[in-house]
Amino acid sequence: MNVRHAGIGMTSQRTRSRMIERLRTQGIQDEVVLEAMTAVPRHIFVDEALASRAYDDVSLPIGHAQTISQPYIVARMIEMLRNGKQLNRVLEVGTGCGYQAAVLGQVAREVYSVERIQPLFKRATDSLKELKARNVILSYADGTMGRPEIAPFDGIIMAAAALHVPQALLEQLAIGGRMVLPLGAREQFLTLIERDEKGFHESRLEAVKFVPILTGKA
């Protein structure tokens, strides 16, 4: 067993199971998402000093003024993205520590994740390599530009709050696809964008709190 996996020892699976039961009580119903959350060891994506809190329903700092989202938000966003259907090609904007990308890798055939902060990109690359997540491809770039050379995506998920939906991402969403992202400044709301032959349809979901989206590379 890898030394990082040993951090929580015998309690790791038990604490993960408690997290799953809590997600059920919070309203997460998609069994595919719950299985994915069970499969991914969240503690390897946080600093060793915070490993004992890895399965609590809280966001945790990962450095560089960024956070790993609380498990409920990760599950909720992916459940909305899936909508009970198989995901083929997914784009994630804001890899962070790589945890959400790893969960997405369990539910989608291909995941392309973009991170603008180089140390986080490297850390996520190492963690995903450790998990052998071969269907998750990371890139160090400005995520608001997406990956036009790989588009269209049937799912796009954004892990930072924007004031408006980046036009480049709208253009890369396939017809029949879904995008889930936080929108707003002081008040933020989880937002679902659906695209059909007639255009884009926006639905506002629950209030959330995310770090703001930034452009360029750091």
Contact present, 12 and 5 (Cβ < 8 Å): yes
Separation CA 169–CA 40 (nearest Å): 27
Separation CA 82–CA 12 (nearest Å): 27
CA dihedral 179, 39, 96, 45 (to 10 degrees): 170
Neighbours of 208 (CB within 10 A): 20
Q: What strand order describes the sheet that includes 173-184? A: 136-140, 108-115, 87-93, 153-158, 173-184, 188-196, 199-208
Computed from CA positions of residues 116, 153, 206, 197, in that sequence, does the dihedral angle turn out positive or negative?
Answer: positive
Neighbours of 90 (CB within 10 A): 27
Query: 12, 17, 52, 69: which is the annotated catalytic residue?
Result: 69
Task: Specify whether 52 is catalytic.
Answer: no
Contact present, 80 and 9 (Cβ < 8 Å): no
Active site residues: 69
